[in-house]
Every structure is written in structure tokens, then in C-alpha cells.
Amino acid sequence: MVDELRTGPPGTAGPRAGDAVGEVPRVGYALGEAPRVGDAFGELMRAALAERAGRGPRPTYAGRVPRPVIEIVERDDGFINGVPAARYLAGPAEWYDWERRALDRCDGHVLDVGAGAGRVALALQDRGAQVTALDISPGTVEVAAQLGVRDTVCTTVDDHARSGRRYDTFAFFGNNLGLLESRQRAPVLLAALAAQARPGARIVAQGTDPYGTTDPAHLAYHQHNRDRGRLPGQLRIRSRYEGLATPWFDYLLCSVEELDQLVHDSPWRIGTVDAADAPIYVAELVLR
């Protein structure tokens, strides 16, 4: 069964001896206007850094007992899911096999899109690769830099296209094929990537086929989307952390057949698909 609101691999790291423990100022609280819209994902990453690496104050019960840092994802039908945030800081040894296989597909200068805390960028740096980590969350980019990612940019793919920089691989890990968002957004994002692609460039993107689910809540959501003229797996979600929420955004789960239709009129075509772990897959798109 596909867990539709799980947007990346599970974490396996827990608290370590010597972790800093103390009262943490509550994030984003303002009575009467909760949740406040802000960098919820960045604050989540700061807390995950404190939990995993002991840097900064970490959340506790009663100011004494370390509390697990959980990513909360809320869907617009009220469905809520939570997964440990430590996964965003895990090294390749803790990754899923499909992620390690996807890493092997990244070469040349890599743009890690929606890089999060930089686990993929760090793994590539360790291999001696040139990598730029791009994310829209300022707090997340700060955490990636603190963890050692040398080249970070806090911007959108669209704005970065104007930087004049060019890449050989665009990496979309942690289910980030979802950043295609919708039928309307996908061609715009694909064109922005093509504008900063070197000859022979590839997109290496992990996605999830939404039709693997048998969960009635997800099946009802698919139908609700069809009724609204949206792709069935077009999730409308936001991340929550304490008193903060990101703005609502679309995150697309699509089948390989739907992906093929989305890229049809773009500068990209599907090259290969690693579907050994279906319904999760890694698609490699190549320039036409």
C-alpha cells in the first residue's frame, strides 16, 4: 500500500548519548492565528539537526526527556500523517536501495532540487562530485550548510534559471518528482530545467505511483481530485511544525504513464525507469 503522505524514506536514527536537552522556545505561536504561515520545514530541519547531531536545543518533554522530531504533513481533506524527520539527515547506509541506485545515476555538476538538509548533496560531495543544493526554505538551506554542503542556493528553480549556471544532472530525491505539482506547473518547471541544462543533461527523479493504494481515504481523495479536474494523485498539502505551517502547495504523485503525458510536449523525454520497488520508481528523463 502506498502511504500517500510519506514524502521520503523513513529515518532510523534516534537520540544519541550526549544530545543537548533543554527547553526550546516554541516556534510560531500567536494566539488566535494558529498555525502561522512561515518556514515550518526549516524549523523542522533545525530540530532534526538538534536531535540527530546534538547541535542546538532539541525538543523535550518537560524540559528533560528528548522528544522525537516528527514531520507532520496535512492534506486539504484533513488527512494527517507523521514520519520521523531524522530521515532527512541520514547517510546513504541508511537509505533505501532505490535511492542508492539513483545516486549512481547522478554525474557531472548536479543540481539537487528541493535538497532539504542536503543528505544527497553531501553523499555526492563525498564522491568528489560537484553539486549545488537548491531549496526554497531558508532554514533548511542553513541546516544543509551547517552540515557541510558547500554550495547552497535558497531560491526557486525558475529564478535560478536566470543565474546562468548550467548542470548535467537534476536530482529530485525524497519523492520530489512531486515538485511537478500539476498539469499546469509541470511544463513550466521542465522548461526552467531545460534552460539551465548542459547538452546531454538528465533529470533523475523519484516518484510514487498513487494507484498502488487500497486505502479508502486515498481512493476517495483521488475521486475528489478527478471531480475537481485535477490529476488523481495531485496532493494539496502543507508541512506543519509546532505553531508554523508552510503555505499550501500541490505535490504530485503520478504513474509512469501520466509522467509520460506530462513530459510529452516538453524538452525532455523518459529515458529509463527503475521500477524494481514499485509503486516507488526512479525515472530518468533525458533531453530530446
Q: Which CB, 24 or 157, lies closer to ligand SAM?
A: 157
- Binding residue for ligand SAM (CB under 6 A) from 98, 170, 173, 281? 173
- Binding residue for ligand SAM (CB under 6 A) from 125, 132, 137, 225? 137
Q: Which CB, 21 or 176, lies closer to ligand SAM?
A: 176
Q: Which CB, 21 or 205, lies closer to ligand SAM?
A: 205
* For residue 279, cis peptide bond before it (omega within 30 degrees of 0): yes
Q: Which residues contact 128 (CB under 8 A, 6 or more apart)?
A: none
CB of 35 vs ligand SAM, minimal distance in Å: 16
Neighbours of 18 (CB within 10 A): 7
- DSSP lists the bridge partners of residue 81 as 73
Q: Which residues contact 261 (CB under 8 A, 6 or more apart)?
A: none
User: Binding to ligand SAM by residue 234, rule CB under 6 A?
Assistant: no
Q: What is the grid cell recorded at 7?
A: 514524502
User: Binding to ligand SAM by residue 196, rule CB under 6 A?
Assistant: no
Which DSSP letter does residue 9 get? Answer: P
CB of 227 vs ligand SAM, minimal distance in Å: 26
User: Binding to ligand SAM by residue 136, rule CB under 6 A?
Assistant: yes
User: Binding to ligand SAM by residue 98, rule CB under 6 A?
Assistant: no
State phi, psi for 56 to the nearest 5 degrees. 90, 165
User: Binding to ligand SAM by residue 207, rule CB under 6 A?
Assistant: no
Binding track, positions 58-97, relative to ligand SAM; x by CB under 6 A: ------------------------------x---------
The residue number with the shortest CB distance to ligand SAM is: 174
The single-letter code of the amino acid at 279 is: P
* For residue 199, cis peptide bond before it (omega within 30 degrees of 0): no
From the list 60-68, 129-137, 209-217, 258-266, the region that binds ligand SAM by CB under 6 A is 129-137
Question: Is residue 171 helix, strand or coil?
Answer: strand
Q: Which CB, 21 or 233, lies closer to ligand SAM?
A: 233
Q: Which CB, 179 or 201, lies closer to ligand SAM?
A: 179
User: Binding to ligand SAM by residue 244, rule CB under 6 A?
Assistant: no
Q: What is the CA angle 202-270-110, rounded to 5? A: 15
CB of 63 vs ligand SAM, minimal distance in Å: 29
User: How far is the C-alpha of 254 from the C-alpha of 96, rounded, in Å?
Assistant: 20
- Binding residue for ligand SAM (CB under 6 A) from 24, 27, 179, 180? 179
User: Binding to ligand SAM by residue 156, rule CB under 6 A?
Assistant: yes
User: How far is the C-alpha of 234 from the C-alpha of 178, rounded, in Å?
Assistant: 8
Task: List, in sequence order, every beta strand (DSSP E) within 136-259.
Answer: 152-154, 167-172, 197-208, 234-241, 244-245, 249-252
Residues in the interface with ligand SAM (CB under 6 A) total 21
Q: What is the CA angle 29-32-33, rounded to 5? A: 65
> Rule CB under 6 A: which residues touch ligand SAM?
7-8, 41, 88, 114-116, 119-120, 134-137, 140, 156-157, 173-176, 179
